Amino acid sequence: MLPLAERMRPKSLNEYIGQSHIIGKNKVLSLALQQGRLPSLILWGPPGVGKTTLAKILSTELNIPYFTLSAIEAGVKDVREMIHKAESSKFFGQHSPILFIDEIHRFNKGQQDALLSAVEKGVITLVGATTENPSFEINAALLSRCQVYVLKPFSKEELLLLTNRIIEKDELFKDKKCILEETNSLLNLANGDARKLCNILELLGHSKDKVITITDEIVEQLVQQQISKYDKNGEQHYDMASAFIKSIRGSDPNAAVYWMARMIQGGESPRFIARRLVISAAEDIGLANPNALLIAEAASRAVEFVGWPESRIILSQAAIYLACSSKSNSAYLAINDAIDAVSTYGDLVIPLHLRNAPTKLMKSLDYGKNYIYPHNETGNFAVQDYLPKDIENVTFYKPLNNPIEEKVKENLSQKWGKKYDY
């Protein structure tokens, strides 16, 4: 049996609930359908507001071919093949076929550029769906050739209308009596998302009871424990990212890849994952392996260059490398201790010999006096004070026990003696 959300998916505008600001009477998409000419467009809105459904209904209303791609799975080759297929299906004088691309924000510039010529020539009518701001995620050339329509979350009234429709029409409830005694929790948990509402009602509908009384308490008890959906704007977003980073910090590549896969399958932005890798490279690996930051930063740039879905391999490579690397948080601890010192001691006076002296007045005030230029000294090093006098013996950076920082520790001790004698 299909999921409830699929069974209840509207097949015509008459069945479609919500988005009256664009498909209501005399509204922009309604008028376009009346005229039989649909422009290429981007449907921008949160999950579960009917973007995919609306795209399919538009093709049905216009009686034109409909093709679809998922930006999570499709590469440039897939885009070109689908455009060729759409072009082959077009008859003379007929409206251009619709090519629907879900999560179009996941396409990189090369993949988006592959669409550009077909959109310009009218080979296809592009309908893209995105949960991200098109201004940031879709390149300007393609965006300028598309109309952008914002889809809104369902209101509580619209969700209630959908709830009643499901109870009246879906086979899950046909042999049961369903009483809507309380609906606050049901509607609040759905939070404007029709798919979430369907998931909740599906859980309720699988009850063996012949009479189902929906109350806030029943919904909360049943639903909050059973609906485990990755929400990239909610608590689980941060919990999943935390598990990912802690797995890298704990040197467990298997766990790191698993949590990354959970984020990917949940629709997390590859940019977010790449940023977390860069942060981890600096915070958890640091000076134990300076190359880790280079690897993470290169992965971040490669994700933008290659695009999805191939960039998942790049992210996997970087995550495994970081997880397997030696670890050190000495740089993290050093900057935190230094910030604490600034808060504790306030704005300490900069030693005169370290000050800039671009004018005669400053030089007359001994700015820069007695500064020793290290490059003029043996080994490019000279012993002199670089910290304010009040904290001249405070140590912020403390090398940890790993091969690279052991060498750093030895080098500092040789130069500074007791000052850096760890």
Query: Do the beta carbons of residue 98 and residue 124 sit within 8 Å?
Result: yes
CATH 3.40.50.720 fits 235-324, yes or no: no
CATH 3.40.50.300 fits 18-150, yes or no: yes
pLDDT digits (tens, 9 = 90+) for 99-127: 999 889 888 888 888 888 889 888 899 99
Does the pLDDT of residue 391 top 80, yes or no?
Answer: yes
In one-letter notation, the amino acid at residue 183 is: T
Look up the pTM and report it. Answer: 0.56
pLDDT digits (tens, 9 = 90+) for 136-156: 788 888 999 999 999 999 999
For CATH 1.10.8, list the domain ranges present in the chain. Answer: 156-226
Mean pLDDT of 286-312: 90
Query: How many angstroms separate the CA atoms of 42 and 49, rounded?
Result: 14
Instruction: Quote the percentage of the chain above a pLDDT of 90.
Output: 42
For CATH 3.40.50.300, list the domain ranges present in the chain. Answer: 18-150
Query: How many angstroms separate the CA atoms of 263 and 269, rounded?
Result: 8
CB atoms within 10 A of CB 220: 15
- Decide: helix, strand or coil at residue 133: coil
CATH 1.10.540 fits 341-420, yes or no: no
Residue 230 has a pLDDT of: 52
Query: How many angstroms separate the CA atoms of 422 and 412, rounded?
Result: 9
Centroid of chain to Cα 392: 44
Residue 227 has a pLDDT of: 45
For CATH 1.20.272.10, list the domain ranges present in the chain. Answer: 235-324
Topology (CATH level 3) of domain 156-226: Helicase, Ruva Protein; domain 3 (1.10.8)
Mean pLDDT of 383-410: 88
pLDDT digits (tens, 9 = 90+) for 3-59: 899 999 999 988 999 999 999 888 999 999 888 889 999 999 988 999 999 999 999
For CATH 1.10.3710, list the domain ranges present in the chain. Answer: 341-420
